[in-house]
Amino acid sequence: MATLRPRGSDDLGLKRALSDRLLPLLVAAMVFLAALALAGVIAASALARHWQGGAGSLLTVQVPQPETATLGGPDRADAITALLNATPHIAARRLTVDELASILQPWLGTEGAPLSLDLPAVFEVRLLNAADPQHLADQLIHTAPGTLVEHNSVWFDRLGVLARSLQASAALALAVVCLVATAVVSVATRAGLAVRREAIDIVHGLGATDRMIASHFARRITFLVVCGALLGLALAIPLLLGLATLTAPFAADQPPPGSVPDVLGTLPPLLWSLLPVLPITAAAIGWLTAQATVRVWLARLP
């Protein structure tokens, strides 16, 4: 029975049959795109969470004629205050007269002068946990008819749809990259088989098993794939850091003024933990695809 040396050998001449340039470059391009797609998935999720915990969770409550007494009770502003304080899963505060004057100043041009207008009482309400904005709005209007409740629910829903669309697009891109990588490895393996067909026929006829031949091809393919994946990852990380640095001013947490920015810290920890998975996944695709391609090809030999 013919045997092939298992490691550190090139009995089948695969270094000449399988190019060490084209396949790694193709894999590098695919891993580069996969890293960008993965970053897109994480960024879209972070954007949705940031919006949900920020502007998407805010209610603005305006109570006209706040000093007018309600039927058999306190004035309208106090009634709304009591209702908000008694409602669970929210955090509310009433804006002061100075805060209202500061908000209106660009339009009224009062330049710090006290306002003589009969302003409504304005409350800023932040929804926590599973608070229902519509139920709260109905209670506020029932307590003080004419109360205006503004919620960013429409824009929040639209942003949620946008974030889910971005996530789905990025996930689809990752799936397409994996399929293309499988196809590229399969084509490269078949090309190597075609180049070394005569040598494979000889050793196969002398008794070399399918497992031995497939393992030789799989090791060579996996080595080339890993080299390309590491190259693609090395090219993607500086670009991701640059993009994260550009978008850092829009992040929720800003470094203190005058501090040295942490460039590596601009990327989320989840992305740092998932980036090394890309070369591992590429290696698995290379090994399994090469094994399957060679075994199917050998099974069809006469």
Number of structural domains (the chain) is 2
| Greater model confidence, 42 or 28 | 28
Least confident of 43-47, 151-155, 218-222, 277-281: 151-155
The residue type found at 186 is: S
- Domain boundaries, position 38: 14-52+156-299
240 and 161: one domain? yes
Maximum pairwise Cα distance, the chain: 104
Give the span between the Cα atoms of 73 and 78, in whole angstroms.
9
**What are the pLDDT digits (tens) for 165-207?**
888 888 888 899 999 999 998 988 888 777 777 777 777 667 7
- Is residue 228 in some structural domain? yes
98 and 212: one domain? no
Alpha carbon of residue 217 to chain centroid: 35
Judge whether 225 and 285 are in contact, CB under 8 Å: yes
pTM exceeds 0.85 for this model: no
173 and 41: one domain? yes
Of 84, 111, 146, the one marking the end of a domain is 146
Of 94, 112, 146, the one marking the end of a domain is 146
CA-CA-CA-CA dihedral for 136, 141, 143, 144, to nearest 10 = 140
